[in-house]
A and B are shown apart, each in its own frame.
Chain A
Amino acid sequence: MTAVPDRPDVTLLALYDRALPQVYGYLMGRCGDRAVAEDLTSETFLAVAAGREDVPLTVGWLIGVARHKLVDHWRRQARQERLSRAVEGSAPEVHDPWDVEFNRWLAHEILARLAPQHRAALTLRYMDGLSVPEAATILDRSVAATEALLVRARREFRHVYEGSSDA
């Protein structure tokens, strides 16, 4: 009845207790919804459990998987909200410097009100601190398209933020 050591399944289960609060905390901090965070946490661990055996089983790797699951979730949400067409315009965008210091708490609140793909872009780029090419890879877009998306996302954010500040 003795478990065999050095098996990948043993490793994932050994990592589980330590990784679970990290993965769940990451997702909860970005989606803010317990049910969604639980679903995405499950998707993350189950994907790793069913996946290839030669991946590096670390908390960092699991967070990376969770990030993909979060983006997938927002992608589904965007489809459901039928917002894709509205934000996929191809008009050229310009970078718009904006001199303001955010109220952090308000900023995170506002993030939750944005269109899902804008929320995804700003979360990856700013909350997670990824570079634009890294965010582009996860969003499955070109770097140029990701930069354009970020510009639109920042503009929507600014619009909502200023509306909130005025209110």
Chain B
Amino acid sequence: MPESRADPFDALRAPITPLAPDPAFAAALRGRIVRALPALTPKESFMSTEMTTRQRNGFRHGDVSYITLELPDLARGRAFYGAVLGWRFSPGSSEHGAQVDDTVPMIGLSEGRAAGEASAHGAVLGFRVDDISVAVAAVRAHGGTISDPHREEYALAAEGHDDQGIPFFLHEMPPVRSESASADREFHNGEIQGDVSYLTMVVADLAAANEFYGGVFSWTFNIGRAGGAQVTGVAPQIGMTTRPEAGPATPGVILCYRVDDIAAAVQRVQDAGGHARDVAQRPYGLESLCTDDQETPFYLHQF
């Protein structure tokens, strides 16, 4: 072969010139790669129907798919909520977590954060989305910060903060079809004791929350009395307030739980080392504002 001879065609030699493609193309391709990667063995507990036939991860884009309740002490949390709400637990993904069996939506208890990080205390919501690449782009477009999507054992996931600093995470799940429309309505306020009956989001700026959550999840807001709004288009039902009755007025989420007999439940709260205010009659049912034995605020509801 005449490889050593000078060859005019050698002038064609072209080293690679790096070139960044269109960012939208790059983001979309990243999402396709994540989906194309070999699926891991699905984590048994997440979508399991062993304990329940109930849909525990929401139905539509923007529904709450999972709640992580961060507590300073996991063992005390298990004892308290087990006694008050009858929760039973399965092992979590690490020794610092526990999976609550059978609640809607799914709940996990978690003991603070990894060493070195500030410990967290309170509920962090996970939302299901139809397309996580699109949702991540929407979060960023609306001023939030979020990781790139990555594959977890149960779903494609991403973790971020809204534009007011409230942490949340996303799961990509296909929309649930068929008979779920009627079930959807039932689950807005929980179905059985121990389910989440309502979520109160404490925000600093209601208009900003409207922009962010409306833009990312297509929620709509009915602005009510000054400083509050009722969100529609999400399960469980969510209310937003700038002035919480309980806890510090820092952005975050307060959980509400459904119980069968609120007087008995209030007694269990007190027996377990928590505090409960007097039961109040509300238009929607009976309510008591409580704290657990680690100063975590929550509500009990009897409908």
Contact = CB atoms under 8 A, between A and B. Distances in A.
B11 A9 contact: no
A132 B14 CA distance: 17
Interface of A, helix, strand, loop or mixed by DSSP: helix
B148 interface: yes
Contacts of A82: none
Interface in B126-149: 148
Nearest to B35: A49
B33 A45 contact: yes
Given A1-B169, A29-B16, A126-B13, A50 B8 contact: no
Contacts of B3: 131-132
B13 A127 contact: yes
Contacts of B9: 102, 122, 125-126, 154, 157
A127 B20 CA distance: 20
A141 to B, nearest CB: 15
A26 B151 CA distance: 29
Given A9-B37, A24-B19, A132-B1, A127 B11 contact: no
B150 interface: yes
Nearest to B11: A102
Contact of B17 (A3, A29, A46): A29
A13 B21 contact: no
B20 A24 contact: yes
Contacts, number: 106
Contacts of B150: 3, 10, 13
B119 to A, nearest CB: 16
A127 B22 CA distance: 25
Nearest to B32: A46
Given A100-B8, A102-B8, 18 more contacts: A1-B68, A9-B34, A12-B37, A16-B30, A20-B29, A21-B21, A24-B21, A25-B16, A25-B18, A37-B21, A45-B33, A49-B33, A49-B36, A50-B36, A101-B11, A107-B11, A123-B12, A125-B9
Interface of A: 1-3, 8-10, 12-13, 16, 20-22, 24-26, 28-30, 37-38, 41-42, 45-46, 49-50, 53, 63, 95, 98-102, 104, 107-108, 111, 122-123, 125-129, 131-132, 147, 154, 157
